[in-house]
Chain A
Amino acid sequence: MLMVVNSSNGQQLVSGKVIHAETGQPLPGVNILVENTTIGTVTGTDGAYSLSLPAGFRRLIFSHMGMITREISPGEDEASLDIAMEPDLLMMEGVVITAIGIPREQKALGYSVQELPGAVFRQVHHDNFINSLSGRLAGVNIVGSSGSAGASSYINIRGATSIDGNNQPLFVVDGIPVSNYAGYQVVNGVDMSNRAMDLNPDDFAAVSVLKGGAATALYGLRAANGAIVITTKKGKHTPGDKISASFRTALSFERASRLPPLQDRYGQGIFGSWGSGMPVSWGPRLDTCSYSVQPEDWQFPRYDADGAVVGMNHPNATGEPARSYDPYEFLQTALSQQYAIDLSGGSEAASFITSASYNRSEGIIPGNLWKRVTFRLAGDASLSASFKIFGSANYIHSGGQRMQKGSNTSAVMLGLLRTPASFNNAAGYELPDGSQRNYRHGSGYDNPYWSVEKNQFTDDVDRLIGYAGFNWFITRWLTLDYRIGIDYFTEDWKNYFAKGSAENPDGSVWLRDYQQRDINSDLMLRAEHKFGEKWTTSLMLGHHLFETYAHELSGTANGLALPGFYHLVNASDIAATEYITRVRRAAYFGILEADYDRMIFLTLTGRNEWSTTLPANANSFFYPSASVSWIFTELEPLNRLSFLSYGKLRFSYAQTASDALPYLTRTGFTSYPVTDRYSTRLNFPLLGQTGFTLSNTLGSEDLRPEKTNTWEIGTDLRWFGNRLGIDFTWFSRKSQDILLQVQVSGTAGYYTRYMNAGEMTSEGIELALGLKPVSSTAWLWDAFFSFTRINNEVTRLAPGIDAIALGYVGSILAAREGYPYQSFFGYDWKRDKEGNVLIDDDPGSPSYGFPMGDYDSLVYEGKFNPDWILGWSNSISWKNLSFSFLLDLKVGGKVFNGTRGSLYYFGSHADQESREPDDLVVFEGVKQSDGSPNDIEVVMGANWYFFGEGSTFTGPDAPYIEDAGWLRLREITLSYRLEREQLGNSRIGLLNLFITGRNLLLFTPYSGIDPETSLFGSSNVQGFDYYNMPGTKGITIGLEMMF
């Protein structure tokens, strides 16, 4: 292998063994590093190590995930050094990876960082590793958008900083930011991915979550919403230069966890009569019906497979009772497989790791599939004791087949749920002439069997993430680090609709090729100096360059000539678009750290950034941060408190900034189709002419960077030896000059105006509590609580604008002054001053006895974000057996159940089973005329739901804003683990068998599917459920081996 440490005089060989302080077991995989050098090693499976200590270097750092890091300086003559390491309950003292990949001791940090071990991501099957963070982090809210295979997840750290821009954190792998691009997070279409899910969680060694401004200040503006910092597994030098290997496989079975309840008592039709082809289920009671197969009744045998539905007493009735069909038989049990393998090894001078993984996930919607294949090679080499180079290359191929969803006439759930119970979608979706068989005679909505078979959306991603760099320990007090990374991917989509599909009856093809290339370069010079015995200071100066370039080509072809041939040439109407984005940034930054006696730690940071998206006169901006950490238990006499073993107070202030969207410093012209409210359109070029229109967004030459100021106070406390740990944080955050596309009245000549306008505050508490109720050599019980409570308020929008719509489907999700970000607004019932619903008591009125919609003003209907979240994870182990579970309690937060609201119109919802003349109900409310309590008995039938205001199609939306809190058993795992000794010292170092359940229990007042859902994916438009693909529950069986 490569040359090793120079073997001049004074070199000292140190060897020994590392054990677990509580169990006494040897600790394999402990990193041992000579401070300020590249020299290091790792303990073997027996906990043993040996290392050459170069002359002049004394200090050894022992670190291991989940253990308290120890720093030890062996004596000059000491050749043998055995140490015991204590587990770190809340990761309070270990080394964590902070901004720009800098490992820092947790105790030195003046802000909150939470770190999760890589194992967390490997026991439960998620396509998207973000979902594994749910319930484990304080201050973080995660929404898996859908149960579809390959669906995106929304992650929110400490509320939002932006109103209509990005609120997702920065994802960083080994110090290199990687793209979490998420295109096509839309109301219709398909459930699309966010690109962070390309990462292979089997490559993760640890994930730390940087929440506050002080934590992320050094990443600059892209981390304004926090950062998810991933450290990958590295190759290690083990005694004997052995190659280690690990292998993991898992198999998962998933089903829909909850489904909207439907009625199967009434059939297709209106006014209580059966009607073939009718859109709604206001037909006859099926238990009073039979079939007729006589041609005079059975007019549409192509559609009505069983015959015409007629009354039992109809002369042509066959006597066979009319059937109802369960639409949910359409859904399938989804099977997913995961395989991951890695090989690693190293000598004293060089190491490597290589890994491969394969993930194939089915969705519960037949045909839905998502695959990911990854390969990775990473390594480093010490060219001398002072110079190390490293690099990594990670290739990913991902993508799948996705099914139409949401507000879309080809959407699977929409067609499925609207189909009357009397119609059997499964009896064939295609007629002999190639046209579609569905309950509306070919129009309306796709038969879901047709849609999944005939309408395909495939996405294909090829991605390369690579980096290279060096660490140069120039002198004992000066190091220079450099790292350059590239993240390049192509994301190609092909979406086609067969002729005869509801959404595109003439057939269509949409091709979209997207490529993005992000380049990051970081140069960091770090100097360290000790003043006397007590003071240690270090100063780092850095330089950063960033460029992102994206190019999107899209072609749409409508009206296919040949059926079944999905190609751009096969159309009469082809439109192509192109979009290019290029943004560059540059920055200088500095960190000054000082600690006094390893008791008080002070960190100052500053960053000056330049961005091309801002006007030339305002494109440079500076933002600072300061943080203090005080380990007060180091102080006499607190260090003698027996019950308080560790105590830290921390305080930080930070400013972060964000730049503008590109190309909005002025207003140009654009060409796009003339499109109406129903998406009918005229494409340009039209009839041989190009056509341009002024851009709908008014740019500005007065843009400034937006700024967020964060204050954070917290404490880390550890009690009773190591049995109880508390990490408490209070933060307050204010974002100002928020750049946003202010919607203006179209009468001003634009849709939106881009400007610095918004102001938003968030304030919250985060509490992490670790508990070790039982700890013996056989029994271990760890419990961990994470609590989050965030209050957010939009305090200012643009002058004259008090609300900005983020998105709508029936109800509007908006940012509105004086309300929390992401609040719902819409129409409610007419109410009196006390808030009682007014009931129409005019006997001549068609709505007699019913409430009446109030369409005069939009009212606040609640917020999307929860009041608070509590995660409780437990891990109990007894010898080789361990059992863990994660309970997730979410209180508050609303979701708009547009599925229910519109199913009411169709009459297919379970709430509509009572509609006979004697099914009388009285609406709660007061009579409009005199305010007396309502006592008018009404039947809630088609008169109300279909002709009246009893659905979202015909009435207000407020009744469908539902409480979406929950208590769920998010994860439960049983695993059996055997170590090398127990395996009779075979070649296998570790064997772990596990079985995991996900979402096996879910209690929620929400009346539809699992309320952890998002029609608009990982975009800011959260909280909508309109025929969303249902969430899932599942079981994973897995096997993990190490060699």
Chain B
Amino acid sequence: MKRNINTGNKLRMVLVMVISAMLFHSCEKWIDPDINQNPNQPADVTMEALLPFIEAGMAFRLAGGNEVVNVQAVWLQQFDGVDRQSLAFANYVYNPLEAFYIWTDSYAEMLMDSRILREKAAQLGSPHNHGVAGILSAFALGQLTDAWGDIPWSEALQGAGNPQPVFDSQESIYLAIHELLDHAIDSLAKEQDPYGIKGDYIYSGDPQKWIRAAHAFKARYFLHLSKRKGSQAYLDALDAIPDAFTDNHDDMQFNYGTGQGESNPLYQFMRDRNDVRMGAYFIDLLKNTEDPRLAVYAYPDGQGNYTGSVAGQANDQASTPGPAVASPESPSYFITYAELLFIRAEALLKTGGDEAQVKIALEEAVAASLEKLGVNDPEWLSGYRGKIAGMTGETLFAEIMTQKYIATFYQPETYHSWRRTAYPVIPPNPNGLIGEIPRRFLYPTSEQVYNPNVPTGISLTDRVWWDE
């Protein structure tokens, strides 16, 4: 048979081979490993790139914010939830799914980034950054353990090396907090730091202020153990106070901006969801004492009055949280000078101090709170002096704690003080799912799924170790 199409076959074969060879050769270059270098993420960053994210995260979500402090404020009837999750909180329903984000981000972002910052600072020789990261870690650990009790720390943040860290006892977490703070104080006391603290929203890189904040935290966390350690806790707290803040300007706070994406979390929450109102208990407390802070703690309601919603009644016509806490620029407070003064008043009283001195301390604390909020009122203060003049013993103690409850409005410390001292006496929401105000947060569902070490059978009425 004739094969007339086959002419030039050899030439064609050569062509095929050349084309094939060209393609096959390019294969090596085509699979260039550099293509998998992530163009969207730097492989490493500087210390000053880490600190802003840590501070902003903690300020927005632990010191202030809607996932911990807001819940606590609803439980303690500074607020009342009128819709959605906030309404559930007011009825003592806490879906463990709610805890997922704050729990996870506290570790995976705030504490993890703090750890990286500390490691980087140690490696590079930057004691000040090391100290700052330690203080921030201590604060976050404090917030987490006070809400959840036992939490992971000694085995936490080890990535693939240990995906299921054990839960450390709250007692050991408290030891770790003080160790972090002590270490930070030492580091920050070092005179030389070739890097300096950069990217610091809170204290603009001033190591002395950070040292004072560390002492302030020490006072707070000593005090938290009052139920456990009795007078020793108070004595320890008193010891820490002199090296801590000296006036309101030392407050460890985060100042927000006015822009939408740089504003206070409660402001954003009210703007977007509008789910809480002022609690009737709190509003009435302020109204009954004609407290000048009322005007900054709450906005007038639609009728121009200051009203609160009775716990669980979901009265959305009541006043909304005011400019001190819910304007775009309302700061989030990590710890304040006023709180320290309340610690001092309480500790003095509880260590058998002269009640006259205690009252002076209390008045100073209240005055500091007024001043901080820009509602200085000497007349009201002198009236207040008269009001507390006759108080003694338990009445005085209750007054200190009630005033602290007012001064630390929408701050983390409110809930912890109340759990320690049971003051002020707040009647629980009678329609609540449980018959008392919750004593703790529930571990997130994710933890139950991903970490078998999580304590089980926990309910909202269980108490954390220092609250027992």
Q: Which residues of A contact B (CB under 8 A)?
A: 6, 8, 10, 54-56, 270, 277-279, 385-386, 409, 443-444, 472-476, 480, 482, 503-506, 521, 523, 525, 543, 545, 547, 558-559, 571-573, 575, 578-580, 582-586, 588, 610-613, 616, 619, 662-663, 665-666, 668-671, 673-674, 676-684, 686-687, 689-696, 698, 700, 742-751, 753, 755, 800-803, 805, 808, 812, 846-847, 855-858, 947, 953-954
Complex contact A573–B156 (CB within 8 A): no
Residues of B within 8 A of A847 (CB): 433
In angstroms, Cα B165 to Cα A682, docked, is 30
Complex contact B259–A572 (CB within 8 A): yes
Chain A residue contacts of B262, Cβ below 8 A: 573, 682-683, 686-687
Q: Which residues of A contact B445 (CB under 8 A)?
A: 812, 858
A695 CB contact (under 8 Å) in B26, B41, B84? B41
Q: Which of B237-245, B263-271, B366-374, B391-399 contacts A (4 or more CB under 8 A)?
A: B263-271
Q: Which of A616, A751, A855, A953 contacts B104 (CB 8 A)?
A: A751
Q: Closest B-chain residue to A36, C-beta based?
A: B5
A694 with B112: in contact, given A56-B4, A474-B9, A584-B30 (CB under 8 Å)? yes
Measured between beta carbons, the chain A residues less than 8 angstroms from B105 are 746
A680 and B268 in contact, given A691-B49, A750-B159 (Cβ under 8 angstroms)? yes
Residues in B33-75 with C-beta less than 8 Å from chain A: 33, 35-45, 49-53, 56-57, 60-61, 65-67
Count, chain B residues at interface, CB 8 A: 110
A748 close to B272 (CB less than 8 A): no
The distance from the CB of B147 to the nearest CB of chain A, in whole angstroms, is: 14
Contact at B57–A674, with CB atoms within 8 Å? yes
| B145 touches A (CB below 8 Å) | no
Residues A693 and B113 in contact, CB atoms below 8 Å apart: yes
Question: Which of B12-20, B122-130, B348-356, B381-389 is near enough to bind chain A?
Answer: B12-20
- Give chain A nearest CB distance to B425 CB in angstroms: 22
Residues of B in contact with A (beta carbons under 8 Å apart): 1-6, 9, 12-13, 16, 19-20, 23-24, 26-27, 30-33, 35-45, 49-53, 56-57, 60-61, 65-67, 83-84, 88, 91, 93, 95-98, 100-109, 111-113, 115-116, 151-152, 156-160, 162-165, 199, 201, 256-262, 265, 268-269, 271-274, 314, 316-317, 431, 433, 442, 445-452, 456-457
Contact between chains at A543 and B2 (CB < 8 Å): no
Report the Cα distance A681→B262, complex, angstroms.
Answer: 7
Having A666-B43, A747-B152, A753-B160, one finds 20 other A-B pairs with CB under 8 Å, namely: A475-B9, A573-B260, A612-B31, A668-B42, A669-B45, A677-B66, A677-B98, A677-B102, A690-B52, A691-B53, A692-B45, A695-B41, A745-B107, A745-B163, A745-B165, A746-B107, A748-B162, A751-B108, A800-B452, A858-B448
Q: Is the CB of B431 within 8 A of A682?
A: no
Query: Residue of A at shortest CB range from B49?
Result: A692
25 contacts between A and B (CB under 8 A): A480-B19, A575-B261, A584-B31, A585-B31, A586-B30, A612-B36, A663-B38, A669-B42, A670-B40, A674-B109, A680-B66, A687-B262, A691-B50, A691-B52, A692-B49, A693-B53, A693-B113, A694-B113, A745-B107, A745-B164, A747-B152, A747-B447, A748-B156, A753-B159, A846-B433
Residues of B within 8 A of A588 (CB): 24
| Contact A748-B113, Cβ < 8 Å, known A584-B30, A678-B273, A691-B49 | no
A670: B residues at CB distance < 8 A: 40-41
User: Could you tell me the distance in whole angstroms from the C-beta of A161 to the nearest C-beta in chain B?
Assistant: 22
Interface centre among A571, A678, A682, A751, by most chain B C-beta atoms within 10 angstroms, is: A682
- Expressed in whole angstroms, the Cα–Cα distance for A746 and B65 within the complex equals 20
- A669, B431: Cβ atoms closer than 8 Å: no
Q: Cβ of A748: which chain B residues have Cβ within 8 Å of it?
A: 107-108, 156-160, 162-165
Q: Are B456 and A856 in contact (CB under 8 A)?
A: yes
The smallest C-beta distance from A659 to any residue of chain B, in angstroms, reads 10
User: What separation, in Å, do the CA atoms of A565 and B69 have in the docked complex?
Assistant: 37
A947 touches B91 (CB 8 A): yes
In the assembled complex, the CB of B244 is this many whole angstroms from the nearest CB of chain A, namely 26
Inside 8 A of B442's CB, which chain A residues have their CB? 855
CA distance A858 to B6 in the complex (A): 72
Tell whether, in the assembled complex, residue B67 and residue A749 are in contact, meaning their CB atoms are under 8 Å apart.
no
**Contact indicator A855/B261 (Cβ below 8 Å):** no
A855 touches B31 (CB 8 A): no
> Which residues of chain B are near A385, meaning CB under 8 Å?
5
Contacts of B52 in A (CB 8 A): 684, 686, 689-691
With CB as the reference atom, state the residue of chain A lying closest to B200. Answer: A689
| B316 and A277 contacting across the interface, CB-CB below 8 Å | yes
Bound CA–CA A680/B447 (angstroms): 24
Query: Do A746 and B30 contact each other (CB < 8 Å), given the known contacts A474-B12, A663-B40?
Result: no
> Closest residue to A551 on the B side, CB-wise?
B39
Q: How far is the CA of A241 from the CA of B203 in the complex (A)?
A: 85
Q: Quote the shortest CB–CB distance from B99 to chain A (angstroms).
A: 9
The answer to whether A669 and B44 touch across the interface, beta carbons within 8 angstroms, is yes
Complex Cα gap A961–B318 (Å): 37
Name the B residues within 8 Å of A802 (CB-CB).
Answer: 449
User: How many angstroms between the C-alpha atoms of A691 and B57 in the bound complex?
Assistant: 10
Q: Report Cα–Cα, A693/B105, bound state, in Å.
A: 11
Bound complex: CA A613 to CA B19 (Å): 27
Closest to B84 in A: A953
**Cβ contact within 8 Å between B259 and A573:** yes
Q: In the complex, which residues of chain B have a beta carbon less than 8 angstroms from the beta carbon of A270?
A: 314
Residue of chain B at shortest CB distance from A560: B260
> What is the CB-to-nearest-CB distance from A132 to chain B, in angstroms, rounded to a whole number?
37
Known contacts being A545-B27, A947-B91, is A475 close to B5, with CB within 8 Å? yes
Contact indicator A474/B13 (Cβ below 8 Å): yes
From B104, which residue of chain A is reached at the shortest CB distance? A746
Q: Is the CB of A543 within 8 A of B32?
A: no
Contacts of B44 in A (CB 8 A): 669
Measured between beta carbons, the chain B residues less than 8 angstroms from A947 are: 91, 431
B27 proximity list for chain A (CB < 8 A): 543, 545, 586, 610
The residues of B that contact A745 with a CB separation of less than 8 Å are 104, 107, 152, 163-165, 446-447, 450-451
Q: How far is the CB of B53 from chain A (nearest CB, A)?
A: 4
